[in-house]
Amino acid sequence: MESPSQSVISCLPYSDKYKYLGHVICADLTDDADVMKQTRSLYARAMSIIRKFSQASLASKIVLFKAYCTPMYGCQLWSSSFPFSLNKLKVAYNDGFRLLLIMNLDGAVHLRYLYITKFPRLMLLFVN
């Protein structure tokens, strides 16, 4: 006959990942799943801005990108992630901003707006 504690333990579900307060907590205690979730979210938000506001002025697009794509909830908590995960997030951030700045059909990117608007780099967002 099983003791009551053994029957309770055998009924508890086990999961490798758990979402708690918007963060993904993994069994191996790495933050890669949360970083990848933010990467997918960043791509989605950037493409949404590009699609919905394609006729807006460049200054408006930059304000929208700063407002919707730079706040990354909980990135200050990431302490244990692999470099490739953070690199994918950096690529997503740069891709979204680069696609936002494309003005001509030939794909010219206006980099002067990076300096005029003092646009934050991705790693600076982790500190704030």
Which residues have a Cβ under 8 Å from the Cβ of 75 and sit 6 or more positions away?
Answer: 38, 125, 126
Q: Which residues of the chain have pLDDT under 50?
A: 104-107, 128
Minimal CA–CA distance to 109: which of 96, 99, 119, 95? Answer: 99
Q: How do the domains of the chain map onto residue ranges?
A: 31-127
Helix-helix angle 83-101:58-69, to 10 degrees: 160
Query: What per-residue confidence (pLDDT) applies to 48?
Result: 92
Query: What per-residue confidence (pLDDT) applies to 106?
Result: 47
Query: What per-residue confidence (pLDDT) applies to 10?
Result: 66
Query: What per-residue confidence (pLDDT) applies to 94?
Result: 84
Q: What is the pTM of this model?
A: 0.71
Using an 8 Å Cβ cutoff, are 113 and 119 in contact? Answer: yes
